[in-house]
Each structure stands twice: as C-alpha cells, then as structure tokens.
Amino acid sequence: MKLPIVAYGDPVLKKKADEISPEYPELPKLINDMFDTMYGANGVGLAAPQIGLSIRLFVIDITDKEEPGLEDFKKVFINAQMLEESGSLWDFNEGCLSIPDVREDVKRLDTIKLSYYDEKWEHHEETFTGLAARVIQHEYDHTEGKLFTDKLSPLRRAMIKSRLDAISRGAVKVTYKMKFPAGSKRR
C-alpha cells in the first residue's frame, strides 16, 4: 500500500527519530508499504519520518545489475547508528521525495561505518562507500531530523527559499501522493 509522503516544512522531518523494538506493531507490513511508496515515487530511498513516523527505520533500493557491489542492494535499516565517516569529500546531486523538484550538489565523505539491524533483526556492522554510502547518509539524516537542504551554503539556501516555501504551501506538482503541513491550502 502506498502512503502519502510528508512534504518539506512538516515538523516530523526536523525531529530526531526514536529506536524501535522487534515488537513494533506490523513492522513487516510497514516495511512493505515503505517500499511500495518509494517505488511509486521513483525513489531510491525512503525514511520513516517521510511517511510521518518518527522512528529509526529507512529502506533503500539502489540495485544495479551492472554495478559491482550493487547487484542486489535492496536493504532495510533499523535503529541505524553512524559509527564513523571517513575518506574524502565529494559532491553528489541530491534530491528528496519530501522536497520535489529541488536538486542540489551536496558534499559528504565517501566512506561510512554503520551499525544497524535488518528486517530479520540481525545486527550488522558494515562499511559502505560511494553511492551506497551517499544514499545511506541521506536517509540516515532523515532519522536524525536533518535534510539535505540543511547542508547547503547560506547563499544557496537563500536562493531556493521561495521554492521550499512553495512546497510547504502545497504549491507543487507531483505524480505521487503527498501530505503538506497543516495550514497549507492544498492537502
């Protein structure tokens, strides 16, 4: 089942999310719904705060049959904690399903070490690099209440402010279902 995606400006996107336990109600269904929602919006990652749940859960699918290491990269990350970020800074043009039509270059380190549980509640401590690291960093930030726009320079942020405000008001065309912050005209 596809769920509405919360738009920029909703306070849930600014909140540090809580850990969950294996008893979290209907977790397998929630994970399925998150994948459905992500695929329905042509995304490669989706974090629970983006569907209005302030919990430490995100899903990613960056499977690329041609790319070594990404041949089967459909993963669920529960209670993830960033242990280390290292390597060199690189620019990548990021977008976000909560911030439609805004894409900006963001600098992040290229290597991360992450602790997390998968959907079977098996614990992993794993190192990721390149695109995998990048997508994880973006989704992980959602569970920390951070957005990629927070990483832009003040000048760049000022330049896109009116577009961000428009998204918060619901004045944006999207092909998927969204939930706009209370008080906006279109919901």
Annotated binding site for Fe cation: 96, 138, 142
Out of 94, 119, 122, 139, which one is annotated catalytic?
139
Beta strands in 97-175 (DSSP E): 99-117, 123-129
**Residue whose beta carbon is closest to Zn ion:** 96
Task: With CA atoms as reference, report the closest residue to 80 among 115, 119, 127.
Answer: 115
# binding residues, Zn ion (CB under 5 A): 1
- What is the smallest separation between the CB atom of 107 and Zn ion, expressed in angstroms? 16
Compare residues 16 and 123 and give the one whose CB is closer to Zn ion.
Answer: 16
The DSSP letter of residue 49 is G
Nearest approach, Cβ of 180 to Zn ion (angstroms)? 16
Complex with Zn ion: residue 20 or 96, whichever CB lies closer: 96
Which CA distances in Å does 118 have to 31, 51, 134, 171, 186?
11, 19, 19, 37, 37
- Is residue 167 a contact point for Zn ion (CB under 5 A)? no
What long-range pairs does 82-86 form, CB within 8 A, spacing at least 24?
Answer: 82/112, 82/113, 82/114, 82/140, 83/112, 83/113, 83/114, 83/115, 83/125, 84/112, 84/113, 85/109, 85/111, 85/112, 85/113, 85/137, 86/111, 86/112, 86/113
Pick between residue 47 and residue 78 the one whose CB is nearest to Zn ion: 47
CB of 135 to Zn ion, least distance (A): 10
Binding residues: 96, 138, 142
Taking the complex as a whole, the smallest distance from the CB of residue 106 to Zn ion amounts, in Å, to 11
Residue 139 bears catalytic tag: yes
Interaction residues for Zn ion, span 68-127 (CB under 5 A): 96
Nearer to Zn ion, 30 or 96 (CB): 96
- Please give the residue ranges that form the binding site for Zn ion (CB under 5 A): 96
Q: Which residues are catalytic?
A: 139
